[in-house]
Amino acid sequence: MRYIFYSITTLAVVTAPAPADYPALIAEDKPVAYWRFDDAHDCCSESKTGDLIARIGTGVSLIVPGPRPPDFPAFAAENLAAEMSVPGQDAVLRVKDPGKSSVLDFTNGDTITIEAWVQSIRPLRDQQSAPIVGKGRTENSGFPHDNENWALSLFGDGKLAHASFTFHTAAGTAHRWVSESALAPGEDWHHIAISYHFGKPDSISAWINGKPSAGAWEKDRRTKTPPVMDDDEVWIGSTLGAKAEHTFPGCIDEVAIYRATLSTERIQLHATRALHPATRIEDASPHPKKNQ
């Protein structure tokens, strides 16, 4: 009887009401751009807010599963993500900057928060950067090579992947912050978020799967100098001409950009992950021995 009672209580946990649906959660925090990759058509995936359109490169697949229940209860069972499926062959999503003083432009005094779900399937080499979403450094004609306005990436240490935030100054100097916490490559989905108030190097916050992580600017790269700000594109999943070595090694989903900081409580809500019910039963239930 003990085993039957255990199963019933576990079922009660499984059928508890799910939290609010993910797009509604994001909308409450008022992003200026939010790409879901679920309702893409021919060429494009539209932002759920504003009118920023991500044009889909031919090396991107939009038929792969994103985070889904039961592990990620806020998502729909049919949630889709963007896979950089053919690295080096146009595996990138491109968003045009509307122009001067657009919602994609940031300078000193502005706050940016960037978040995304990532499935980093292949391991990163030591010092390898895996771009999630960033503005500039596209190698588009008419723009300098070192014009990264802002970017969220993973950064490899040869084994694990750390969260990183980078920008260039107008002079073209790169400034990279790297989290202490890191995630292992594989099939699991992870929520990554970074918040930064430009001009204040100590203002940076990062969260991996909802947990705040300490971190540091690379040596001599703390700066109060403003970032370069121009009209280059935002790219999701790749940088630097979308070459294979500069393309994200896996899938990206639910990319959101805010012009404000988000509290840890809100980030944790976004990053909600259920304990896997099946695993709990497997692990926790006593199994009677055979022939007992």
Can you give the binding site for Ca ion, defined by CB under 5 A? 36-38, 66, 79, 97, 102, 105, 231, 253
For the beta carbon of residue 287, count every other beta carbon within 10 angstroms: 7
Considering the complex, state which of residue 47 and residue 129 has its C-beta at the smaller distance from Ca ion: 47
User: Is-contact 215 206, C-beta < 8 A?
Assistant: yes
Considering the complex, state which of residue 79 and residue 239 has its C-beta at the smaller distance from Ca ion: 79
Considering the complex, state which of residue 155 and residue 248 has its C-beta at the smaller distance from Ca ion: 248
Q: How far is CA 97 from CA 31, 100, 107, 113, 172, in A?
A: 16, 8, 15, 17, 20
CB of 157 to Ca ion, least distance (A): 28
Considering the complex, state which of residue 148 and residue 253 has its C-beta at the smaller distance from Ca ion: 253
Query: Cis omega (within 30 of 0) on the bond before 185?
Result: no
CB of 231 to Ca ion, least distance (A): 4
Considering the complex, state which of residue 36 and residue 94 has its C-beta at the smaller distance from Ca ion: 36
- What is the C-alpha end-to-end distance of the chain, expressed in Å? 16
Q: What are the tokens at 17?
A: 């009401």
CB of 102 to Ca ion, least distance (A): 5
CB of 221 to Ca ion, least distance (A): 24
Considering the complex, state which of residue 37 and residue 198 has its C-beta at the smaller distance from Ca ion: 37
CB of 150 to Ca ion, least distance (A): 12
d(CA 261, CA 83): 28
CB of 283 to Ca ion, least distance (A): 30
User: Is-contact 156 139, C-beta < 8 A?
Assistant: no
Considering the complex, state which of residue 40 and residue 182 has its C-beta at the smaller distance from Ca ion: 40
Considering the complex, state which of residue 42 and residue 220 has its C-beta at the smaller distance from Ca ion: 42
d(CA 216, CA 154): 14
CB of 105 to Ca ion, least distance (A): 4
Helix or strand holding residue 83 (H, E): strand 80-84
- Residue 77's contacts (CB-CB under 8 Å, 6 or more residues apart) are 68, 69
CB of 98 to Ca ion, least distance (A): 7
The 8 Å CB, 24+ separation contacts for 51-55 are 52/95, 52/96, 52/98, 52/103, 52/104, 52/234, 53/95, 53/96, 54/93, 54/94, 54/95, 54/236, 55/93, 55/94, 55/95
For the beta carbon of residue 271, count every other beta carbon within 10 angstroms: 21
